[in-house]
């Protein structure tokens, strides 16, 4: 009887060890070697092909290294609603402690953010926040103000009876729509002499912007300004006319303050952008995640600032990117 009991205990111990080895890793907060709680956070990026989205994803990964109690897993939404939605569903199923969503299209991701909240997972939306998700927090910037600081300057800079082209972000995206609305109210409504000779949705994409700009320069001998809802599209449009003397002196405006944009401003190729600092967003996102995960706060909604970057202060932002390793 004693021998049978020993054999039974041995079998039980082996089964327990096997169960421990085969149990899923994604099972919520765990602990480190000191028994401290370590939280698992899924960051669902809009895409990694857009320069700003890639900047933000990298900044979040680097900021997470400062937190011993947080592990970040970054997932690429590939600028696809269906891909993003599947990634959010998988993060819910995998029982992450928190999910940060950078939506491709806020309306398309809204119900999935609501599912995460309903599952008891801390949910944060960012760049752009998804409005109306009860129980979710947000870290963002004010897109209307981001465009307004450019439009205010353009009122004086863009010449009378100018021809301009406009490059827009994805329809339904909070930042894309609010920036375009800001340009309308703060510039176009005040400057009826200005003619829009081309306006297209380039989806934040540099290559798409280049394609549209190639068409516009063929159809128009005079384009005085590029008005883009982000730096990536502005940079694409500028690439088309970079060596074309017919468009020398063209003004151009963007949003984000990417490394590429500040170098273009430093060269005198791009006129102005407003900073949407991925570094500041990442700092705020990790601080927000930590406060929510540890129970220090239960709801956080904040915006970062939108300072202007132009030839007067561009060296400051070149140095910012150099310190972060984005400019060598």
Cβ atoms of 293 and 138 closer than 8 Å: no
Three-class SS of residue 40? Answer: strand
- Within a domain: 223: yes
CATH code of 65's domain = 3.40.50.2300
- For the stretch 88-133, pLDDT in tens is 999 999 999 999 999 998 899 999 999 999 999 999 999 999 999 9
Query: In this structure, is residue 326 part of a structural domain?
Result: no
CA dist., res. 87 & res. 45, Å (int): 10
Residue 228: is it exposed, middle or buried by C-beta count within 10 angstroms (0-12/13-18/19+)?
buried
Q: What's the CA gap between 11 and 307, in Å, rounded?
A: 66
Which two tokens mark 250?
Answer: 């063209």
Same domain, 293 and 232: no
Predicted confidence band of residue 34 (pLDDT cuts 50, 70, 90): low
Q: 123 and 229 share a domain?
A: no
Q: Say if residue 123 is in the same domain as residue 153.
A: no
pLDDT tens digits, 63-72: 999 999 999 9
Looking at the structure, do residues 251 and 170 belong to the same domain, yes or no?
A: yes
Co-location of 225 and 249 in the same domain: yes
28 domain residue, yes or no:
no
Do 282 and 219 share a structural domain? Answer: no
Same domain, 218 and 270: yes
* Co-location of 148 and 194 in the same domain: yes
Average pLDDT of the chain?
90
Count: domains in the chain? 2
How far apart, in whole angstroms, are the C-alpha atoms of residue 123 and residue 285?
11
pLDDT tens for each residue of 144-157: 999 999 999 999 99
Residue 230: closest CA among 211, 204, 250, 208: 204
Longest dimension (CA), the chain: 101
Kindly give the pairing relationship between strand 137-141 and strand 37-45: unpaired
| 156 and 261 part of one domain | yes
State the DSSP code for 159: P
Residue-level pLDDT at 19 = 35
Which string of DSSP letters, residue by residue, matches 41-87?
Answer: EEEEES-SSSHHHHHHHHHHHHHHTT-TTEEEEEEE-TT-HHHHHHH
What is the reported pLDDT for 3?
34
Higher pLDDT, 314 or 15: 314
Q: Is 328 exposed, middle or buried (0-12, 13-18, 19+ CB in 10 A)?
A: exposed
Please give the distance of CA 36 from its chain centroid, rounded to a whole number: 31
Question: Which residue among 259, 275, 291 closes a domain?
Answer: 275
- Say if residue 185 is in the same domain as residue 255: yes
CB neighbours of residue 29 within 10 Å: 15
Q: Is residue 128 reached through a cis peptide bond, with omega within 30 degrees of 0 on the bond before it?
A: yes
Q: Decide which of 257, 275, 293 is a domain's last residue.
A: 275
d(CA 196, CA 164): 5
Determine the structural domain holding residue 204 and report its residue range.
143-275
Asked if 152 contacts 186 with a C-beta cutoff of 8 angstroms, the reply is: yes
The residues near 183 (Cβ < 8 Å, ≥ 6 apart) are 147, 150, 151, 166, 227
Check residue 5 and give its pLDDT.
33
Closest by CA to 89, choosing from 119, 60, 61, is 119
Q: Is residue 26 part of a domain?
A: no
Note the pLDDT tens digit of each residue in 189-235.
999 999 999 999 999 999 999 999 999 999 999 999 999 999 999 99
* Helices 231-241, 51-64: inter-axial angle, 10-degree rounding: 140
Determine, yes or no, domain membership for 238.
Answer: yes
Whether residue 153 is contained in a domain is answered as yes
CA 30, distance to chain mean position in Å, is: 28
Please indicate, yes or no, whether residues 135 and 198 belong to a single structural domain of this protein: no
Distances, alpha carbon 47 to alpha carbons 43, 110, 129, 203, 226, in Å: 11, 17, 16, 11, 24
Q: Calculate what percentage of the chain has a pLDDT beyond 90.
A: 84
For residue range 244-296, list pLDDT tens digits in order.
999 999 999 999 999 999 999 999 999 999 999 999 999 999 999 999 999 99
In a domain, 264, yes or no: yes
Q: Would residue 3 count as lying in a domain? A: no
List alpha helices for 65-220, DSSP H.
81-93, 106-118, 143-157, 174-183, 206-219
Q: Are residues 150 and 267 in the same domain?
A: yes
């Amino acid at each position: 009887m004693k021998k049978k009991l020993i054999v039974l205990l041995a079998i039980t111990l082996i089964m327990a060890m096997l169960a421990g080895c085969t149990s899923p890793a994604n099972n919520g907060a765990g602990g480190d070697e000191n028994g401290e709680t370590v939280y698992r956070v899924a960051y669902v990026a809009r895409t990694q092909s857009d320069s700003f989205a890639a900047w933000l994803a990298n900044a979040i990964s680097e900021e997470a290294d400062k937190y011993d109690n947080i592990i970040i897993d970054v997932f690429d939404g590939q600028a696809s609603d269906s891909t993003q939605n599947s990634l959010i569903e998988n993060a819910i199923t995998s029982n992450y402690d928190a999910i940060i969503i950078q939506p491709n299209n806020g309306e398309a991701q809204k119900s999935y953010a609501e599912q995460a909240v309903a599952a008891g997972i801390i949910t944060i939306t960012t760049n752009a926040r998804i409005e109306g998700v009860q129980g979710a927090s947000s870290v963002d910037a004010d897109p209307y103000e981001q465009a307004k600081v450019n439009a205010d300057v353009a009122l004086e800079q863009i010449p009378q009876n100018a021809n301009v082209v406009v490059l827009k972000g994805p329809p339904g995206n909070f930042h894309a729509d609010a920036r375009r609305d800001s340009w309308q109210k703060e510039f176009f409504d005040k400057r009826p002499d200005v003619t829009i000779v081309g306006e297209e949705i380039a989806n934040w994409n540099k290559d798409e912007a280049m394609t549209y700009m190639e068409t516009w320069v063929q159809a128009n001998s005079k384009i005085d300004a590029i008005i883009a809802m982000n730096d990536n599209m502005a940079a694409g449009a500028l690439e088309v006319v970079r060596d074309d003397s017919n468009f020398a002196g063209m003004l151009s405006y963007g949003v984000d303050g990417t490394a590429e944009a500040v170098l273009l401003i430093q060269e005198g190729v791009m006129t102005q952008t407003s900073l949407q600092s991925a570094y500041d967003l990442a700092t705020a996102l990790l601080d927000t995640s930590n406060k929510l995960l540890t129970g220090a706060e239960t709801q956080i909604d904040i915006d970062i600032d939108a300072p202007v970057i132009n030839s007067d202060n561009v060296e400051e932002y070149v140095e910012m990117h150099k310190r972060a390793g984005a400019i060598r």
